[in-house]
Amino acid sequence: MSAELLRTIPEIRSRLAEVRRSGCTVGFVPTMGALHAAHGALIRRAWEESDFVVVSVFVNPTQFDRGEDFDRYPRTLPADVEFCAALDVDIVFAPDAKEMYAEPHLTLVEVSSLSERLCGEFRPGHFRGVATVVAKLLNIVQPDSAYFGEKDAQQLAIVRKMVTDLNVPVTIVPVATVREPDGLAMSSRNRRLDAGERRIAPTLYRALQAAARRVASGATSPEEVRSAAMAVLGSEDAIRVEYLEIVNPERMQPVERIDGPVRIAAAVWIGATRLIDNVLCQPPA
């Protein structure tokens, strides 16, 4: 099977109008391309719940806070289309920036408070770009359900709130983080790691697990839990911690005491590559 590649908004609108007239439900997986097994998990989940599956591939310029990161982001459209075809995706929507942001583009979507901490603190404007492009893509595709990975937990929380606040008629479905056998969360950025960096990259997940074990064994002090993770990260000189926080999973704000479920979220730099990961954990009953 081949996936149909569409590049313009009128084309995808008219194709999806036909699909909806025939009574099919539409599942949507928004991506920035460089597809890998974690995107495969989103697509498979979409197939479990939809009659027709659309994947978008768009490296969204408005969510990059550093030009060089945008320039270096991998662009592999032919391989992405093949990847989608192998998973029976019906449509790959791959607009260019002019198609998505006709000049002058004056409207931005800001989900305040949820965007302030964690990645929001270190990547100014990032989540405004994400919320804006996701709102636009949802308006273009008008899917029944849209699928997002839990690796980007803050993005997921922001998209959910945006959809609720703006009354967008779509179900947002979270999909569990897909990991390499050594625990490293799959990400398009992993391909930037050289062999030495790749070897130490799983330390991030090991650190989060060490912190999660403290929570599971009854630690209530965020500082104690944080120290357990920092001790693991500190064992590798090449890792620079950008943030490591213990937050409320809905509000994405640091907790003062652990007395319910928390998300432990971190961003680290290994060389020139920034990696993020998180785990949801529960204190003992």
User: Annotated active-site positions, please?
Assistant: 39
Which residue's CB is nearer to ligand PAF, number 13 or number 36?
36
Which residue's CB is nearer to ligand PAF, number 139 or number 235?
139
Q: Which of 32, 53, 100, 232 binds ligand PAF (CB under 6 A)?
A: 32
222 lies in the binding site for ligand PAF (CB under 6 A): no
> Site residues for ligand PAF, window 246-265 (CB under 6 A)?
none
| DSSP states of the chain | --PEEE-SHHHHHHHHHHHHHTT--EEEEEE-S---HHHHHHHHHHHHH-SEEEEEE---GGG-SSHHHHHHS---HHHHHHHHHHTT-SEEE---HHHHSPSS-------TTTTTSTHHHHSTTHHHHHHHHHHHHHHHH--SEEEEEGGGHHHHHHHHHHHHHTT---EEEEEPPPB-TTSPBP-GGGGG--HHHHHHTTHHHHHHHHHHHHHHTT---HHHHHHHHHHHHTT-TTEEEEEEEEE-TTT--B-SS--S-EEEEEEEEETTEEEEEEEEE----
- 171: β partners: 145
Spatial separation of the C-alpha atoms in residues 42 and 49, rounded to whole Å: 11
- Point out which span in 30-38, 97-105, 112-120, 241-249 binds ligand PAF (CB under 6 A): 30-38
Q: Which of 31, 145, 154, 278 binds ligand PAF (CB under 6 A)?
A: 31
Which residue's CB is nearer to ligand PAF, number 86 or number 97?
97
> Site residues for ligand PAF, window 80-139 (CB under 6 A)?
130, 133-134
Evaluate the CA torsion angle 9, 12, 18, 22 in order and state its sign.
negative
Which residue's CB is nearer to ligand PAF, number 146 or number 228?
146
One character per residue 140-179, x = contact with ligand PAF (rule: CB under 6 A): ------------x--x------------------------
Residue 132: CB minimum distance to ligand PAF, A: 9
Which residue's CB is nearer to ligand PAF, number 137 or number 247?
137
Report residue 155: phi and psi, to 5°. -60, -45
Residue 152: CB minimum distance to ligand PAF, A: 5
> Site residues for ligand PAF, window 52-81 (CB under 6 A)?
60, 63
Which residue's CB is nearer to ligand PAF, number 6 or number 134?
134
- Point out which span in 27-35, 40-48, 201-209, 273-281 binds ligand PAF (CB under 6 A): 27-35
Q: Please give the residue ranges that form the binding site for ligand PAF (CB under 6 A).
A: 30-32, 60, 63, 130, 133-134, 152, 155
